[in-house]
């Protein structure tokens, strides 16, 4: 019986090292070699300064910027360590209050009409870096007015940032808010 116990303990230790350490290190090494930018978090560096990640939403405030989906990460917006949905169900009074507050803020200075859903609700992870093209288009007037730019120029910038479906059929068209705001920063 002791012999069987010893063999079992050795097998657990061996497979723990192989599957818990060896395999993850091998896959990470392959990823670093084959896809270095993606393995490093798709960081965006401008003038030697890291501005963010293309994979994680950023906190943009003020009328001069396009805004992404609301974060669901608690007190520190878009903190990847706190990733996860709010867990508020459709009947939650807090969720209703949050949506009504966001809707009121979006309607400031605008005529009535439908609001893009993604500007009212957080994504499942609370870190989504994208909005729909309609969500970006909804913000064109505000950004153009705040920056003193022609509406058409800002609209063409948005259209240039629309990413299509992956492989032409997967997912939905989207706009990465970080990429859009960095392109907006380049406009003079």
Together in a domain, 71 and 117: yes
Q: Evaluate if residue 15 carries a pLDDT over 90.
A: yes
Together in a domain, 180 and 139: yes
d(CA 123, CA 127): 7
- How far is C-alpha 96 from the chain's CA centre? 23
Which pLDDT band holds residue 38 (cuts at 50, 70, 90)?
confident
pTM summary value:
0.78
d(CA 130, CA 89): 23
What is the residue-averaged pLDDT of the chain?
88
**Lowest-pLDDT range of 10-24, 64-78, 151-165:** 64-78
| pLDDT tens-digit readout, 90-121 | 898 988 998 898 888 888 766 567 899 889 98
Q: Evaluate if residue 157 carries a pLDDT over 90.
A: yes
d(CA 188, CA 10): 66
d(CA 22, CA 17): 6
Q: Give the number of domains in the chain.
A: 2
Tokens 């300064």: give the residue.
Answer: 49
d(CA 173, CA 130): 10
Instruction: Evaluate whether residue 45 is within a structural domain.
Output: no
Together in a domain, 26 and 95: no
Together in a domain, 14 and 101: no
């Amino acid at each position: 019986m002791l012999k069987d116990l010893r063999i079992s303990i050795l097998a657990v230790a061996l497979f723990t090292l192989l599957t818990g350490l060896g395999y993850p290190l091998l896959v990470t090494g392959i990823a670093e070699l084959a896809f270095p930018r993606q393995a490093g978090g798709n960081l965006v560096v401008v003038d030697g300064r890291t501005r963010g990640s293309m994979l994680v939403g950023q906190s943009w405030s003020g009328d001069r910027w396009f805004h992404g989906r609301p974060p669901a990460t608690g007190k520190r917006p878009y903190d990847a360590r706190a990733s996860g949905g709010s867990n508020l169900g459709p009947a939650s009074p807090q969720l209703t209050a949050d949506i009504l507050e966001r809707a009121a803020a979006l309607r400031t200075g605008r005529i009535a009409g439908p609001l893009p859903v993604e500007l009212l609700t957080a994504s499942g992870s609370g870190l989504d870096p994208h909005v729909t093209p309609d969500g970006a288009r909804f913000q064109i007037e505000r950004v153009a007015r705040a920056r003193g730019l022609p509406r058409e120029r800002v609209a063409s910038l948005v259209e240039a940032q629309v990413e299509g479906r992956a492989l032409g059929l997967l997912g939905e068209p989207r706009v990465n808010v970080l990429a859009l705001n960095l392109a907006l920063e380049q406009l003079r």
